[in-house]
Amino acid sequence: MSDIEDTKKRIRELAEKYENYTARNLSEIVKIPSYSGEEEAVIKKLKELCLKAGCDEVRIDGLGNLIGRVGSGDKIIAFDAHIDVVGVGDRSQWESDPFSGLIRDGLVYGRGSADQKGGAASMITAARILKELSYGGNYSVYFTFTVMEEDCDGMCWKYLIEEEKFVPDYFVSTEPTRLRLYRGHRGRMEMNVTFTGVSCHASAPERGKNAAYRAARGALEIEKLNEVLKPDKDNFLGKGTVAVTRLNAGGPSQCAVPDTADFYLDRRLTWGETMESSVKEVESVVKDFVSVEVPYYDRISWKGTKYGQELYFPTWKIEEGHPLVQSGIKAYDMLYGEKPVVGRWTFSTNGVAVCGRHKVPSIGFGPGDESKAHAPNEITQISDLKVCSAFYAMLPYVLE
């Protein structure tokens, strides 16, 4: 048996052996609520798990991201999981406690189990497998557990690359793909469009200029704009979209014509669409606006660091023939005797910063289903965790 065949066999055996270990780790971190900016407790738990798995280095950066490493090769591959979660929403829609971490019938239940602590648990197992195999190849294999993604996707990696000067050669997002291999997704941005008017008593509205009507007419133009947006040329990412997600108006009183109004936009960006082009589109179809602005996000992390960026997240993709994509296909094929489905996400990931902003070749492969993200009764399949831990351990060997 060749070395690579023996390695493949050992990886599959170890992923199988540690299947329950992976599920238990996921359960433990699901039990710890970790909203954006409030991730300290789960980061400390993950640090403990990484150390027990045998990582060669474990550290927390200035923003609060956790970084583990196995191996000391000249090249860097980074496997990433954001470990913050969205809120619970209406608890009456949950059949069990959102933070129970319940393990039952081959599933792990709870907020974050799919989006995306399942990826984090599989990464820890992959680190343990690589250590047991005494991995000493060409790569330093990093496992990053990143913060504040749900609030501002990619900002954690903007910090890692621009402030920590940590630039990988390859990047793998472990966001949920249900064991498909993804090579891109649409970008996104947010815009706020403001309007002014002239207030007067509502008993004689003709004396004033109603800012709410101006905003409402503008919102209807946005609806029309959405209908004419085009897909990318190869129709891989699909069409861009734009939607009004909030509309406000106000004035001196409820008996007065409003003199201010604004609406908020969610804009999904296909290949070739940019922040600048999208702002110009809105300005061209909306009348009587005062400003179209891309808001700026800045918040203090759990570590006490204030960091921010504009709410623009660039589109990204790499070609199917890229060596990273082909290596991912080969790794899966070697392990399981068939090629994975290659596709793209509907939602957005940290890839917007790593590949979209900084052009680091990136792919995605993760446990769980994208449709479970942000939904009540969130679950992840334990069998997915096992496959992912094997895939993450196998990929560095195949890249060599």
Q: In what helix (H) or strand (E) does residue 18 lie, and over which residues does it extend?
A: none
Six token digits for residue 379: 């679950």
3-class DSSP state for residue 117? helix
For the CA atoms of 300, 151, 32, 373, the dihedral, rounded to the nearest 10 degrees, stands at -170
DSSP string, 58-81: EEE-SSS-EEEEE---SEEEEEEE
- Secondary structure of residue 320 in the 3-state scheme: coil
103-104 sheet: strands from edge to edge: 103-104, 107-109, 379-381
With a CB cutoff of 8 Å and minimum separation 6, the contacts of 218 are 193, 195, 263, 286, 287, 288, 289
Asked if 338 is an active-site residue, the reply is no
Q: Show the tokens assigned to 161.
A: 């690359």
Q: Closest Cα to residue 41, out of 109, 99, 107, 95?
A: 99
Among the options 149, 150, 262, 370, which is catalytic? Answer: 149
Q: Could you tell me which residues come within 8 angstroms of residue 221 by beta carbon, excluding any fewer than 6 positions away?
A: 285, 286, 287
Is the distance from CB of 302 to CB of 65 less than 8 angstroms? no
Q: CA-CA distance, 286 to 280, in Å (whole number)?
A: 10
Is residue 149 among the annotated active site residues?
yes
Report phi then psi at 53, rounded to 5.
-75, -15
Quickly count: other Cβ atoms within 10 Å of residue 223's Cβ: 11
| Helix (H/G/I), strand (E/B), else coil: 10 | helix
Catalytic residue among 61, 80, 84, 370: 84
CB 270 within 8 A of CB 237: yes
Q: CB atoms < 10 A from the CB of 48, how many?
A: 12
Helix (H, G, I), strand (E, B) or coil at 380: strand
Residue 155 CB contacts under 8 Å (≥ 6 apart), including other chains: 148, 149, 297, 307, 308, 309, 353
Q: Do the beta carbons of residue 87 and residue 38 sit within 8 Å?
A: no
Active site residues: 84, 149
